[in-house]
Structure 1
Amino acid sequence: YHMLQAFNTGNLALYQELCKVHNAALSAQPALVQNERKLLEKINILCLMEIIFTRPSEDRTIPLSVIAERTKLSISDVEYLLMKSLSVHLIEGIIDEVDSTVHVSWVQPRVLGIPQVKALRERLDAWVGKVHTTLLSVEAETPDLVAA
């Protein structure tokens, strides 16, 4: 259960801790041993998607160093991770190697857990507040054009 939670949230630190704690049980599973590298790649991709998801949509230009810090990968490995994610259409965006950033314009929809739904609700509430403020501003600036 905890391993699935680690994958779902893209929590690399929890995954590594669980691998250490349950090393004997995991080593007893040949399929897990054979695919250890693929599992690490998958958790890194999920970690990347979580980094993107938790950022506001207007702030989706992410420094590669931020991704490297969270995934514990080198910058060149982060670039490979991004290219892999772009090639399988998990994300859409542009890698800017000059500025060492990636601008993500789209993320593949996925199943959300309760904490993710709560975060999404908070972002939606903030957006509704901004829309309301804009409406009040427009009404105040143009009282003759807006009918009550």
Structure 2
Amino acid sequence: MTDIDPSVYANYYWVSSQFYKFRQEFSDFYKSALLYLAYTSVESLSDSFKLDLAFDLSLSACWEITSTTLESCSHPIIKSLLGTKVEWLYYILQAFNNGDLVRYQELCVYNSALRAQPALVENEKKLLEKINILCLMEIIFRTIPLSIIAERTKLSIEDVEHLLMKSLSVHLIEGIIDQVEGTVHVSWVQPRVLGIPQIKSLRDRLDSWLGKVHTALLSIEAETPDLVAT
């Protein structure tokens, strides 16, 4: 069928999302809810409806978060959490998105509202593993010592190796672990949604690289007459 009104798709995906929510199938709820929002104007929704949906979507995002499934963090509806009693969930998502393990642990330890969420408490180990992977993807760049990863993720070297092997097995990264040298060489990282701070970090790296290339160019130009004469 062609020329179907967007409201038909919106209603379909809304019912679908509520079905998966009832069954506690977080991944499918997450996808259906995002598709519902793709066919719906956020401005047309009431504040209470937006808050409830933002809360459910954020909770489900905690299970769905990997390198590429952070669309909800940048969706306008998530800002509905700000200024409410569940504002902490907004900051949890930001901590995940930035791979900020320290911030995540602070929110978990000192937030009684977070501790009151059974789904988060029961799967704390799984969530910690997810944010460790995102922390790894945040800091990893070419060849990096395992000790640096251990420092940032608060894991032992043995656990870092396990984390790397898991990341390699699910194809979040590609590379080689060198146990003799105690390093990992990463040749590829799965693309992910980047925030402004992460884009700024990439820009700074690019500026640094351009500076080194320019210095090398000047050095080669300065040596060119001697090379030609030789």
Aligned residues: 137
Mapped pair 1:75 → 2:157: yes
| Bigger proportion of residues as helix | 2
Residue 4 of structure 1 aligns with which residue? 93
Q: Quick check: 1:62 aligned with 2:144?
A: yes
Q: 1:127 to 1:69 in 2, by over 3 A?
A: closer
* AA aligned opposite 1:83: M
Counterpart pick for 1:36 among 103, 110, 124: 124
Instruction: Tell me if 1:85 matches 2:167.
Output: yes
Tell me which residue corresponds to 1:111: 193
What is the TM-score with the length of structure 2 in the denominator?
A: 0.54
How far does residue 73 in structure 1 lie from its aligned partner after superposition? 0.9
In 2: Cα distance, 1:100 partner to 1:139 partner: 38
SS at match of 1:62: strand
- Percentage of matched positions with identical amino acids: 78
1: distance between equivalents of 2:115 and 2:217? 60
| TM-score w.r.t. length of structure 1 | 0.82
Q: Which runs of 5+ in 2 are unaligned?
A: 1-89
Q: How far 1:127 sits from its partner (Å)?
A: 2.8
- The structural deviation recorded for 1:135 is 4.4
Q: Which residue of 1 aligns with 2:109?
A: 20
Which residue is equivalent to 1:102? 184
Q: Which has the higher contact order (CA 8 A, sep 6+)?
A: 1
Q: CA deviation at 1:82?
A: 0.3
* C-alpha separation in 1, matches of 2:114 and 2:205: 39
- C-alpha deviation, 1:68, in angstroms: 1.0
Aligned-pair CA distance for 1:128: 2.9
**Separation of aligned partners in 2, 1:97 and 1:25:** 42
TM-align CA RMSD: 2.0
1:115: how far off? 1.2
Q: Match of 2:134? A: 46
Task: Work out which of the two has the higher radius of gyration on C-alpha atoms and give 1 or 2.
Answer: 2
Give me the whole-angstrom Cα distance separating, in 2, the residues matched to 1:68 and 1:39. 18
What's the CA shift string for 1:44-77, capped at 9, x where partnerless?
A: 001111111xx4xxxx221111111111111111
The change in CA–CA distance for 1:20 and 1:114 in structure 2 (over 3 A counts) is same
